[in-house]
Amino acid sequence: MTRPAVTRLLLLRHGQIASHRGDVPVTAEGLATAAGVGGALAAPGRRVLVLSGNTLRTRQTAQAIADGARHAGGIVDGPTEAFALRNPDLYLAGTRVDMVSTAAAFAEQVPGISEEDVARAPFYAAFVAAPDRIGWWLRHPSPPGDDTPAVRKRVTDFAVSLTDYPGPGPDLIVAVTHSPIIRACALSACPQDPGEPPWVGGIEITVSQDGAARVSWLGAISPAAAIPGRGHQVLDPVHRTRHGDPP
């Protein structure tokens, strides 16, 4: 069995949730959508690797995708948590916090911090007040933690590392993450921020054997997503030093 000429990674948003006030579960409708996406992406004998972030909603979505892919006859590995798929790293009072929608939800993540304390922190006060919080973060020149280029580099490095799989590797890698990660990477392929991706929709990253990564905006996933998307933009090849190789 030969190795595919390119490594295909679908970076998908988690399934539908009722709110962004903390680490909430995926709705029943969201789980059904995710299972349908898994079935659409799989085929009998197709090797699919499913990865997720560490939040409840990404793990539940990944499990539903894996279940749907198995039901369609795919050979599925996972879901497995991948550290690179976490939300941007932001810091409040020395503690890493996830992006949430209210000052109260930020305060719940930091011992000893009140909602009023969050409201006095300039970045977080402006973040929760913004009509498009993720878009505001994308454009911010110096957030207290990861900015857009840092997230894009993290995910690109992660995608390129997937070519390290020995042997043929999976035919398709499906990674469930959050909209800030997808929107940061989508700016590589879109002339402007495309806005929030649909539930269980997102982008495709293909990595060739020379380490060049191509990003495509997919939007919603359907059976047509089994075919590489349109509008690819080539990023600069990522040159990495492999373990044991000289620098």
Q: How far apart are CA 229 and CA 231, in angstroms?
A: 7
Assigned CATH topology for domain 6-87+146-234: Rossmann fold (3.40.50)
Within its chain, how far is the Cα of 73 from the centroid?
Answer: 25
Contact in structure between 218 and 200 (CB atoms under 8 Å) = no
What's the pLDDT score for residue 222?
64
**80 to each of 31, 107, 186, how far by Cα in Å?**
17, 29, 24
Whole-number pLDDT of residue 4: 64
Token readout for 70 is 């198995």
Question: What's the whole-model pTM score?
Answer: 0.86
CA distances from 195 to 9, 25, 105, 127, 137 (A): 20, 23, 23, 16, 12
**Encoded tokens for 3:** 């190795």
The confidence score (pLDDT) of residue 169 equals 83
Token pair of 212 as six digits: 């060049």
- pLDDT for the residue 2: 58
* Contact by Cβ (8 Å): 75, 40: no
Average pLDDT, consecutive stretches of 10 residues, N- to C-terminus, the chain (247 residues): 76 92 90 95 93 97 97 96 97 96 94 96 97 96 97 96 85 96 92 92 92 87 47 34 26
Delimit the domains of the chain by residue range. 6-87+146-234, 90-131
Look up residue 127 and give its two tokens. Answer: 């973040």
Residue 244 pLDDT:
26
Return the HEC string of the chain: CCCCCEEEEEEEECCCECCCCCCCCECHHHHHHHHHHHHHHCCCCCEEEEEECCCHHHHHHHHHHHHHHHHCCCEEEEEEECHHHCCCCEEECCEEECCCCCHHHHHCCCCCCCHHHHHHCHHHHHHHHCCCHHHHHHHCCCCCECCHHHHHHHHHHHHHHHHHCCCCCCCEEEEEECHHHHHHHHCCCCCCCCCCCCCCCEEEEEEECCCCEEEEEEECCCHHHHCCCCCCEECCCCCCCCCCCCC
